[in-house]
Amino acid sequence: MSHNSHTILNLMEKNSIFILAALMLLLYCEVEAQTNYLRQKETTFINVEYNLPMFKEAAFGKKTGWSVILNAKLKASDNLTVLLEVPYASGGNDYWGSPVSKTESDVTWGNPLIGLEIRNGDSDLYYEFGLRIPGTNKNSWRAISAGESIDLERMTAFFSESVSLYGLLDFKPELLNKFYLMINGGPIFFFHKEGGVPQTSLMFSNRFGFKNDLFNLTSGFELMVFLSGKNISLSERTTTQWDISVSVNFANFNPGLIFRLPLTGWNSSNGVIGFNLGYNF
């Protein structure tokens, strides 16, 4: 497991009372570990996303990396949709200086996701459940580190030797003049291979969007709070991110761009540029 994973999981020791209270409080909001495209009202689509983190330089060299995420949203019935995601990442280190400059790199699959989206007719409120199963190669720590830096909401996609489970709620009301709002929040549970008490974090995101026949624009913030850990301040438990994305409607195809900017917390990148191509059925 990478240093980032150890840091995060060490924060999340058992704190039952706080967890139960927080889960009750956040019953009416949701977040999850996937791209914004899985929250669109189109019921069936497939999307591929390429992400390029911009890592901070160090005195001895620089981290490099990229990821490819394939996800799909497949309609099973009027009120039930299947969510799928397969992540893949490459990471490396460019070293320079004495005695010789060199590059080291590795690759890994991430933790695949299978989930369900449950709706009640045309309601703006809908439920979401998902499970990530282990798929990363724990020895590919450079690729894991690159993958973890992609997206706060998709952080668990590259946790090594762990299973993550979420049960969430989404709210996406239509506003005036083609504007809309996306409010999300909820718990993610982590189960490590070594066993022990499940560890929990809570996330919240709030985005505004504009959509017409030509394009779709969204922007907003995400926040993750680790619920447990001894003698740790709230600021140390909290990680935040801002993003902005735009996609173009071209027949059934939706090419787009996304930029993510870490604001606080453990993320080691200066930002992430993403390119995506979706196809609606």
What's the average model confidence in pLDDT over 35-64? 73
Of how many residues is the chain composed?
281
**End-to-end Cα distance, the chain:** 38
Quote the Cα angle for 89-223-149, to 5°. 20
Q: Rounded to the nearest 5°, which phi and psi values hold at 22?
A: -70, -40
- Count structural domains, the chain: 1
* CB-based contact 92:104 (threshold 8 Å): yes
How far is residue 117's CA from residue 93's CA, in Å, rounded to a whole number? 39
What local confidence, expressed as pLDDT, does residue 131 receive?
Answer: 95
* CB-based contact 239:222 (threshold 8 Å): no
Instruction: For 220-252, give one letter per residue: b (16+ CB within 10 A) or e.
Output: bebbbbbbbbeeeeeeebebbbebebebebeee
Residue 235 in this model has a pLDDT that exceeds 90 = no
pLDDT digits (tens, 9 = 90+) for 78-107: 899 999 999 999 998 877 665 556 678 889
Question: Which structural domain, as residue segments, surrounds residue 254?
Answer: 3-280
Percent pLDDT > 90 in the chain is 41
Q: Which of 269, 228, 241 is closest to 20 using CA atoms? A: 228
Residue 35 in this model has a pLDDT that exceeds 70 = no
Residue 187 in this model has a pLDDT that exceeds 60 = yes
CATH code of the domain containing 271 = 2.40.160.40
Q: In which region does residue 161 sit, left (phi positive, over 0), alpha (psi from -120 to 50) or beta (all else)? A: left
